Amino acid sequence: MVSRADPLRLRVLDSDYNDMLAEHFARIVDELERKRRRWRSPSELRGFQLEIRKLLKDALGGLPEKRDELNAKVLGKLERRDYIIEKVVFESRPKLYVTGNLYIPKHADFPAPAILRVHGHWRHAKSQDVVQATCAGLASKGYVVLAIDAIGYGERRAQGDHSEGVWLPAVGLTLQGLIIWDNMRALDYLQSREEVDPERIGVTGASGGGNQTMYLAALDERVKAAVPVVSAEVFEDQVASGRCYCECIPGILKFANIPDILSLIAPRPLLLINGVKDRGFTILRARKAFSRVKAAYEALGAEEKVALFEVYAGHDYNREMREAMYLWFDRWLKGEDKTESEEPILELEPDLSYSLNCFHTFPRDTQTISGLYYEEARKLKEHRLSRSVDEWLERRDMLRREIIDEVLGGFPEREAISARTLEIMHVDGLYVEKVVLRSESDIIIPMIIAKKEEDEGTSPVVLCVSPLGKGSMLARKHVREFINKGYMVASIDYRGIGETRFSEVIAAKNSIVIGRHILGMRVYDVVRTLDYLTSRPDISKSDISCWAEDEAGLVALFAAALDERIKGLTLERTLASWESPSGFSYSPSIFPPNILKYADIPELAALVAPRRVTLVDPLDPQRQRLTLDEALKVFDFTIKVYEELNASDNLKIITSV
């Protein structure tokens, strides 16, 4: 006899299938690539550019229509041999302070060409030695250069951490969108300076800064020449890997790959610089990207305006790379067609000297990533709940379709049920089946089904889901109680947990990029599990309920909201709302794009009405249990819907604090 506390014997697969999700993402990327529309003539390319630019803006969360006052200030100056460094600050949005250093050459023909220098994921941001080197080198050659801190870096760490960018898509914003708007406002600032020729502005940056360079130049034609460094690539098997959320644009691969974005810059001058030894943005993917981008430039008769410069180096922006950049900008912004441009001896500040800082203490009234999130969440809530309960009820079916399509990214076409019982065993007086269910062509769901050995005929069933996986289910007291009451219990490892466990961070990033969110994929696994359970002759189709805990509670809640085969739902210790003024202490996999445009968690619970819902110890965004009064306030709309449907007895909220 096997102890019910021993999950090893409840394993379904011979060994863990940890590559399943990686292979799944790679397959979807390949399908999207093959389905994507291609341009076939110069006129089609121009139309393609207009279309992709609009789609990109929408995917970034839209850009503000109003340009608020920059309220720009110069807070200090540093005198150097060949240039002056001004410490500048402006507001890209009200109270969202952008800190920067403006390098003004002492010897130049003014108004001079200008360069916006954006940085990658470097802690010291505009003070990083490699950023300073670019700025000092360009200023010594007669360029006005503006280097700014990206949100969450350098002086702007007070505004949040880049990891918080995962929350933003839930309210229709993106971290890259915030950054691009900062950069567009930086162009506004450069154009406001009398030292700058507004018609000769370039942009450059490496790694994440290369991505910023690419997106900014693609969207803003004020950029007359662009040099993205160690960032050009094509999305292939790697998809998003371990990169920052600023490099994950929701659904981008549904309409464009990276070369398509780079092609939006054509016919303006574009130089790609990559390292042969770069293991992140590999030279092979860079060469593939260049080949595709070059075709766009050739179609527009501008092949001399695009180039790939390879350096036998790794992930860097070293002197050889910078000297290639100088030549490119000299050619296209100064009209100087030279064959070499030697970098002068540079005068740099120590990274940790703080001499380049604009503030001694960052303003306490600054806007933050979490503040922007909360501000937008409040606006969306006001809009969503402007309807009466009756009006909301009338559009429930439409709301379900919108959630599936616009939030979760759609469900794939259902295939015929494919499931196998691999083993039947007896565990502590229980009859236990090990089942493997195919949810999609390349997704398998390990499942266990348990019931009393003597039970025959049809039985009601409880589907149990937990982020801990199915392995511990039979050790749970409440699961044994279900079985003792005559229920059959089914439990699954939805994709990415248990026997197919995978990084929650990478799953979130990859699913954002491909436009099918990991939360929605897991909801689909539950839907397919329901398909299988209702196909079995020993299960009562009219009595299927679901129990879930923690983050799996959201998977179950979406499933119950969208699929009426779930007749009862119990959620334990599950997040109560995506509205928070101070961020979240949750996995990145629970923030699907645009969800708060359509529903918060209480409204999802209302979509289950009038079916049974029990909420046990709902949690706040910091994982603290709500009091009963707090829970009643959060779920006020759910309560009103159940009252309207004369089903108040079917909604229970139970708290232990």
Q: With contact defined as beta carbons under 8 Å apart, do 445 and 533 qualify?
A: no
Q: With contact defined as beta carbons under 8 Å apart, do 65 and 52 qualify?
A: no
Place of tokens 């998003």: 240
Q: Residue 547 in 3-state DSSP? A: strand
On average, the pLDDT of the chain sits at 94
| Mean pLDDT, residues 547-567 | 98
Own/partner pairs for 371-376, CB < 8 Å, 24+ apart? Answer: 371/581, 372/93, 372/96, 372/168, 372/173, 372/178, 373/164, 373/167, 373/168, 373/170, 373/171, 373/173, 373/580, 373/583, 374/579, 374/580, 374/581, 374/582, 376/171, 376/172, 376/173, 376/596
Tell me the sheet residues that pair with 318.
none
Pairing of strands 270-275, 306-311: parallel
State residue 437's pLDDT score: 97
Query: pTM above 0.75?
Result: yes
* pLDDT confidence band for 2 (50 / 70 / 90): very low
3-state DSSP helix/strand/coil percent for the chain, to nearest 5?
40, 20, 35
C-alpha distances in Å from residue 117, one per residue of 27, 154, 170, 256 = 36, 14, 30, 26
Q: With contact defined as beta carbons under 8 Å apart, do 93 and 367 qualify?
A: yes
Cα–Cα distance, 48 to 54 (Å, whole number): 10
Q: With contact defined as beta carbons under 8 Å apart, do 427 and 489 qualify?
A: no
**pLDDT at 655 > cutoff 90:** yes
**pLDDT at 491 > cutoff 80:** yes
The pLDDT tens digits of the residues spanning 560-590 come to 999 999 999 999 999 999 999 999 999 999 9
Pairing of strands 112-117, 196-206: parallel
**pLDDT at 331 > cutoff 80:** yes
Cα–Cα distance, 568 to 565 (Å, whole number): 9
The pLDDT tens digits of the residues spanning 372-420 come to 999 999 999 999 999 899 999 999 999 999 999 999 999 999 999 999 9
* pLDDT confidence band for 270 (50 / 70 / 90): very high
Dihedral of CA 351/356/360/366: which sign? Answer: negative
Cα–Cα distance, 88 to 102 (Å, whole number): 7
State residue 352's pLDDT score: 67
Provide the 10 A C-beta neighbour count for residue 238: 19
**pLDDT at 611 > cutoff 90:** yes
The pLDDT tens digits of the residues spanning 33-75 come to 999 888 999 999 999 999 999 999 999 998 998 999 999 999 9
**pLDDT at 242 > cutoff 80:** no
Higher per-residue confidence, 321 vs 240? 321
197-201, 222-226, 421-425: least confidently modelled range = 421-425
Provide the 10 A C-beta neighbour count for residue 156: 22
